[in-house]
């Protein structure tokens, strides 16, 4: 019922209808006006701002920023066709893993307005306050995906998100293996977690985090020089709903092509990869190496020409540009 009310208010906004009366909502949903009011209050508790005016009705105060179920309809074939909004969660990836074990629909998207234990690679925390970002995970059950090729889902997602950002006029850089940068600062990131057999992926949880309306004063001091948001880039507050639609639609297209056998995204990732051509330092098996990042392999690994002249391909770990 709450999703239907939000969808109706979104439709009213898109049709330039300022208010929808309680009696109109009650009639359309076949409930009492009292029931409508109770649902409106529950939606407000979920963080959606709804204005109410006597004898006029209800309207969304910030329709372009509503991520509640009912407001999000990406018109995709798979990813996001089942969509769950949560006001707050420990981590969308953790929730995705829980739901994968329970047997959720393929392509399920879980989005939270706030993550208490937002997660990044290597156990790090992703700063995820309410109302400032897009934090979602999608649960996938790939067909015939060998474990050795699972890491390809990260550059695939990076290219898909880059495409959505480019549509709104933001040209992000892709830092191997999973960061989206702007002007050398972190705009977003991707986290992949898989489960299955030794040689075959059963399920994959792909997490995406984008800093949208994050202000410098919102950040811990140690992050202020390394993190950036779309609001800082565009110098204005950004609506999150359309960007989410664009990201889900783009990811849906790239993933469908991937399942059909296409690997075109790898060439695009090579073109966009900020790391290539740079001097880097990284650690493998407890040893520190330095060299020049030369190319992205077909399996997503980063090939590096070491200072000694030898080539080494790395498939995980941190890379620090010198």
Tens-digit pLDDT profile for residues 72-121 = 988 999 999 999 999 999 999 999 999 999 999 999 999 999 998 665 55
Confidence check: pLDDT of 125 > 80: no
pLDDT in tens, 161-181: 999 999 999 999 999 999 999
pLDDT of 122 higher than 60: no
pTM over 0.85: yes
Dump pLDDT digits (tens) for 25-55: 999 999 999 999 999 999 999 989 999 999 8
Q: What percent of the chain has pLDDT over 70?
A: 97
C-alpha 305: how far from chain center: 32
Residue ranges matching CATH 1.10.10.10 in the chain: 2-64
Please check whether the domain covering 2-64 is classified as CATH 1.10.357.10.
no
Cβ atoms of 290 and 280 within 8 Å: the answer is: yes
CA–CA gap between residue 286 and residue 246 (Å, rounded): 41
Per-residue pLDDT tens digits for 281-320 = 999 989 999 999 999 999 999 999 999 999 999 998 889 9
Angstrom distances, CA of residue 224 to CA of 215, 220, 261, 320: 9, 7, 41, 19
Residue 123: the pLDDT is 55
Mean pLDDT throughout 15-34? Answer: 94
Per-chain mean pLDDT for the chain: 93
Over residues 264-285, mean pLDDT: 96
Distance CA 123, CA 238 (A): 29
Whether 259 has a pLDDT exceeding 80, the answer reads yes
pLDDT band (50, 70, 90) for residue 126: low
Average pLDDT in the 184-197 region? 95
What is 279-321's CATH topology?
SH3 type barrels. (2.30.30)
- The better pLDDT of the pair 126, 280 is held by 280
Q: Reply yes or no on domain 83-272 having CATH 3.30.930.10.
A: yes
Shortest CA distance to 193 belongs to which of 155, 154, 229? Answer: 154
- Give 124's pLDDT tier (boundaries 50, 70, 90): low
Q: Where in the chain is the domain with CATH 3.30.930.10?
A: 83-272
User: Measured in whole angstroms, how far is the alpha carbon of residue 137 from the centre of its chain?
Assistant: 6
Listed residue (321, 160, 180, 316) closest to 252, CA to CA: 160
């Amino acid at each position: 019922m709450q999703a239907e009310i939000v969808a109706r208010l979104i439709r009213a906004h898109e049709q330039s209808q300022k208010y929808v009366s309680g009696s109109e909502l009650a009639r359309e949903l076949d409930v009492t006006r009292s029931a409508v009011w109770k649902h409106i209050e529950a939606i407000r508790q979920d963080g959606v701002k709804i204005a109410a005016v006597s004898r006029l009705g209800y309207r969304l105060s910030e329709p372009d920023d509503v991520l509640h179920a009912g407001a999000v309809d990406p018109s995709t074939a798979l990813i996001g066709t089942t969509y769950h909004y949560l006001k707050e969660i420990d981590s969308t990836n953790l929730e995705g893993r829980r739901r994968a074990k329970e047997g959720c629909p393929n392509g399920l998207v879980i989005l939270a307005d706030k993550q208490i234990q937002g997660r990044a690679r290597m156990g790090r925390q992703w700063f995820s306050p309410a109302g400032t970002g897009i934090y979602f995970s999608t649960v996938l059950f790939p067909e015939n995906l060998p474990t050795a090729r699972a890491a390809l889902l990260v550059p695939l997602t990076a290219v898909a998100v880059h495409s959505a950002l480019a549509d709104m006029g933001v040209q992000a850089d892709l830092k191997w293996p999973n960061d989206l940068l702007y002007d050398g600062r972190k705009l977003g990131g991707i986290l992949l977690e898989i489960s299955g057999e030794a040689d075959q992926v059963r399920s994959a949880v792909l997490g995406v985090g984008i800093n949208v309306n994050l202000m410098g004063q919102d950040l811990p001091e140690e992050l202020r020089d390394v993190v950036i948001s779309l609001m800082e880039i565009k110098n204005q507050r950004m609506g999150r709903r359309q960007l989410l639609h664009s990201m889900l639609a783009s990811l849906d297209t790239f993933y469908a092509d991937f399942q059909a056998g296409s690997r075109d995204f790898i060439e695009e990732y090579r073109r966009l990869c900020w790391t290539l051509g740079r001097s880097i330092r990284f650690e493998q098996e407890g040893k520190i190496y330095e060299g020049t990042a030369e190319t992205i392999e077909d399996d997503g690994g980063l090939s590096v020409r070491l200072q000694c002249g030898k080539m080494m391909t790395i498939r995980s770990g941190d890379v620090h540009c010198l």
